[in-house]
Amino acid sequence: MSHRVPADLHADIRARRSALEQLSLDLHATPEVRFEEHYAAEQLVGRLAGAGFKVDTGVGDLPTAFVATHEGTVDGPTIAVLLEYDALPGLGHGCGHNLIAAGGLTTALAVAAVRPDHPGTLKVIGTPGEEGGGGKILLLERGVFDGVDAAVMFHAADRSLRARHALASSKIRITFHGVAAHAAKGPWEGRSAAAGAQLFLTAIDSMRQFVRPSARIHGIVTHGGDAPNVVPERAEIDMYVRESTTAALDDLMDRVSAAADGAALATGTTVVLTETAPRYAERFNNMVMADRIAAYSASIGLELEPPSAQNPAGSSDIGNVSAILPAIHPYVQICERGTSSHSVAMREAARTPRAHEAAETMAAAMAALVLDLLEDAELLTAARAEFNAAVCVGEPSQH
């Protein structure tokens, strides 16, 4: 069956291109880090309220989170469009969240304008703090996603994909505590927290040969002491630990924790390991929805590649959403293939005409999918069936 973006919906989104681009550039020029996205949230909320959405701000006790609701004329499912709008510390929008926000907003405004009598409920959920803060996880835990039947969003990238696996991830801080002493007069009186941190990092490097190829362990030393002539009494490492599934991550975290304890024992220090954000789950891509959005994007000139194990994976809190309800997170190319995410090159690409053309195209395909999910009970039933099967066996879709 051929699926084409409805002409009136496509025309409405084309007419919104200038507004999409202006908003995207405005957010790009005003980057705000996780949970500090006050300007971005204000801009998005204002546009949604102006279009007749009922807006609730500060949802889930997060000041920069919101839910905007457009009720249909008859009962039906609840479909959510998810927006991200936080930037990276020191880099700005090197992950293109300005495009996610502007493109997702355009999707929702077009659906409400072209089909004001749609069945069910259209929600726009503003999800702050994706970059390390786990905003979606907090909103899930606090009931903001209750009653949502499916969720959609898209992401900018160096290639266009209908789906991509993502790794389960834990963000940790390892703090070694030692005993300060004069490093020349009486170093034997001290116990170096920096030595504990150094030995821990050596242990992690020794472990790398004996972890699965899917594992990722990477971090930075954020504090190593205060002066060269003082034995450091505190050293701190911020680290991400990732694996292909939550179960595999649990096992890997046990080994990382044991390495920290061993380094402390060997250096006469103590260590505290804390998780600094909610743990991100792997992603359960709903391929029923992903294939439908790929058909719509192809009808307007954008081919979305099928997922492949050759496509490298990061982590995102959309994984936690996808473990609770059917969700998609396709990617759209805005730059040359091979351009790294979280880079200056990606940041610059996220404000180009090419990026805004891509966001417009994805907004149109996503709007057509949202309408289908609101109106086509068979599609939503199929998406739910795939979701139930994937989550029950605990294996993210890879086909």
Share of the chain above pLDDT 90, in %: 94
Cα–Cα separations (whole angstroms), residue 149 to 65, 170, 187: 20, 27, 62
Residue 133 has pLDDT above 60, yes or no: yes
Residue 298 has pLDDT above 80, yes or no: yes
Q: Identify the pLDDT of residue 391.
A: 82
Residue 397 has pLDDT above 60, yes or no: no
Arch. (CATH architecture) of 7-166+281-393? 3-Layer(aba) Sandwich (3.40)
CATH of 168-275, one of 3.30.70.360, 3.20.20.10, 3.40.50.2300, 3.30.470.10: 3.30.70.360
Q: Identify the pLDDT of residue 28.
A: 98
Cα–Cα separations (whole angstroms), residue 266 to 207, 360, 387: 17, 57, 47
* Structure-token pair, residue 328: 């998609």
Q: Residue 88, by phi and psi: left (phi above 0), alpha (psi -120 to 50) or beta?
A: beta
Sheet-wide strand order for 119-126: 54-57, 66-71, 119-126, 74-83, 150-152, 327-328
Residue 396 has pLDDT above 60, yes or no: no
Mean pLDDT to the nearest integer, 30-46: 98
Specify the range with the lowest mean pLDDT, choosing from 38-52, 159-173, 233-247, 298-312. Answer: 298-312
Q: Is 381 exposed, middle or buried (0-12, 13-18, 19+ CB in 10 A)?
A: exposed
Closest alpha carbon to 244 in 275, 284, 198? 284
Residue 394 has pLDDT above 70, yes or no: no
pLDDT digits (tens, 9 = 90+) for 317-366: 999 999 999 999 999 999 999 999 999 999 999 999 999 999 999 999 99
Mean pLDDT to the nearest integer, 37-50: 98
Closest alpha carbon to 363 in 54, 81, 93, 68? 81
H or E segment at 277? none
Q: Identify the pLDDT of residue 311.
A: 73
Instruction: Tell me, yes or no, if the two domains 7-166+281-393 and 168-275 fold the same way.
Output: no
Q: What gap in Å lies between CA 301 and CA 334, rounded to an integer? A: 15
Count Cβ neighbours within 10 Å for each residue of 166-185 and write b for 16 or more, e otherwise.
Answer: bbbbbbbebbbbbebbebee
Sign of the CA dihedral running 348, 349, 354, 358: negative
Domains of the chain by residue range: 7-166+281-393, 168-275
pLDDT digits (tens, 9 = 90+) for 256-283: 999 999 999 999 999 999 999 999 999 9
Q: Is 88 exposed, middle or buried (0-12, 13-18, 19+ CB in 10 A)?
A: buried
The chain-wide mean pLDDT, for the chain, equals 96
Closest alpha carbon to 282 in 257, 314, 237? 314
**Confidence at 13, pLDDT banded by 50, 70, 90:** very high
Q: Beta strand 168-177 with 150-152: parallel, antiparallel or unpaired?
A: unpaired
**Residue 364 near residue 10, CB atoms below 8 Å:** yes
Q: Identify the pLDDT of residue 126.
A: 98
Sheet-wide strand order for 270-275: 216-223, 234-243, 168-177, 270-275
* Structure-token pair, residue 124: 């726009």
pTM: 0.92
Q: Identify the pLDDT of residue 393.
A: 58
Q: What gap in Å lies between CA 290 and CA 365, rounded to an integer? A: 11
**Residue 224 near residue 235, CB atoms below 8 Å:** yes
pLDDT digits (tens, 9 = 90+) for 64-81: 999 999 999 999 999 999
Q: Identify the pLDDT of residue 399.
A: 36
Beta strand extents in 318-390 (DSSP E only): 327-328, 331-333
**Residue 283 near residue 316, CB atoms below 8 Å:** yes
Cα–Cα separations (whole angstroms), residue 328 to 39, 316, 342: 27, 12, 21
pLDDT digits (tens, 9 = 90+) for 93-103: 999 999 999 99
Mean pLDDT to the nearest integer, 2-29: 97
Cα–Cα separations (whole angstroms), residue 42 to 35, 47, 66: 13, 9, 10
Q: How many CB atoms lie within 10 A of CB 186?
A: 10
Closest alpha carbon to 171 in 276, 271, 259? 276
Q: What gap in Å lies between CA 241 and CA 212, rounded to an integer? A: 12
H or E segment at 171? strand 168-177
Mean pLDDT to the nearest integer, 380-384: 98
DSSP 303: P
**Confidence at 310, pLDDT banded by 50, 70, 90:** confident
Cα–Cα separations (whole angstroms), residue 264 to 199, 226, 250, 274, 393: 8, 20, 21, 15, 39
**Residue 302 near residue 157, CB atoms below 8 Å:** no
